[in-house]
Amino acid sequence: MPEGPSVRKFHHLVTPFVGQKVVQTGGSSKKLLPATFQSLWLQDAQVHGKKLFLRFDPDEESEPHSSNPQSVRGVWKEEAMGPELALGPSAQETSPGPSGSGDPVPSGSDGPFGLGGQNPLADVQRWLEMRFGLFGSIRVNEFSRAKNANKRGDWRDPVPRLVLHFGGGGFLAFYNCQMSWSPPPVLEPTCDILSEKFHRGQALEALSQAQPVCYTLLDQRYFSGLGNIIKNEALYRAGIHPLSLGSLLTPSSLGALVDHVVEFSTRWLQDKFQGKKQHTQIYQREQCPSGHQVRKEMFGPPGGLQRLTWWCPQCQPHLSSEEPQNLLSS
């Protein structure tokens, strides 16, 4: 699923529509009917880690909350608000992925609001929780187009799960995402790797557990927004083998790992807002920057999710418990 920097970009694409009324809907979602959003007002947008939260109300009386993009350690405020990020074809988040299937989905508003034709949000404020799949994305004022043929050999465009047209003009198209109504989100910025309130000491304590650090890094309780790309890149830059036990690493090595997590994530987000291509040193590479052969293998906790991991055996040696564990890279 998209990692923290991508979801932050999604948040930025949505915020210009806060305070506007949904006037037309479309999409392929069956679990949550697109027509449910007809005539609702988008009142707020919040992001935490890999999740995007949108608040919809049945009328405009509730004043929208401030939903300006949260600053990330003060390094991208100017880029984020620059004119190059104005809404338009060049502002959409792009994610390459497989072609969708099925007929084109019209952006119509026909369909029931819910049981008895009633809007289920008529009496309460509700939040929509959005979790994006591997190729999840948001498009602004245009639809995604097929970049290659699907398994059946045809070139059908991906079908959006949800399309929302707004009274102020323009629309949002949401692709490859799971949507559900939820209570107001409880945000925990201390574990969000792109929050100014990210708690470094809390992260170090989590990493010092007697388990492989590659498991801990993907635990969203401690590193919300951190995904497989950030995991691989931070471990390589810190010179730490993915299966190194955190309890055997020195405080300086763990500190370097946390620093690389934040630095890489922040730079990735900056590059997104500047339209630059992501640059990785180890992820999906055959050789590391030093010219060594890169290895890859599935790693994950017993009974848990196994993730493909890239590492360099020479730059990231797997030391035994008897050897020094200070693995700070030069």
- Please give the single-letter amino acid code of residue 229: I
Contact assessment for residue 46 and residue 220, using Cβ atoms and an 8 Å cutoff: no
Burial class (CB in 10 A: 0-12, 13-18, 19+), 153: exposed
Cα 72-64-95 angle, rounded to 5 deg? 50
Q: Choose, from 9, 50, 139, 237, the residue flagged as catalytic.
A: 50
> Active site residue: 21, 263, 307, 317, which one?
307
List phi, psi (to 5°) of 226: -85, 130
Strands 41-48 and 51-57: antiparallel
Q: Is 126 a catalytic residue?
A: no
Residue identified by tokens 């807002």 is 273
Compute and round to an integer the Cα radius of gyration of the chain: 22
Catalytic annotation present for 50? yes
Between β-strands 126-140 and 162-166, what pairing exists: parallel, antiparallel or unpaired? Answer: unpaired
List the structure tokens of 285.
């590479």
Task: Please say if 272 is a catalytic residue.
Answer: no
85 CB-near residues (< 8 Å, 6+ apart): 12, 79, 91, 273
Q: Give the rounded distance of the alpha carbon of 163 from its chain centre.
A: 19
Any catalytic annotation for residue 297?
no
The residues annotated as belonging to the active site are: 2-3, 50, 307
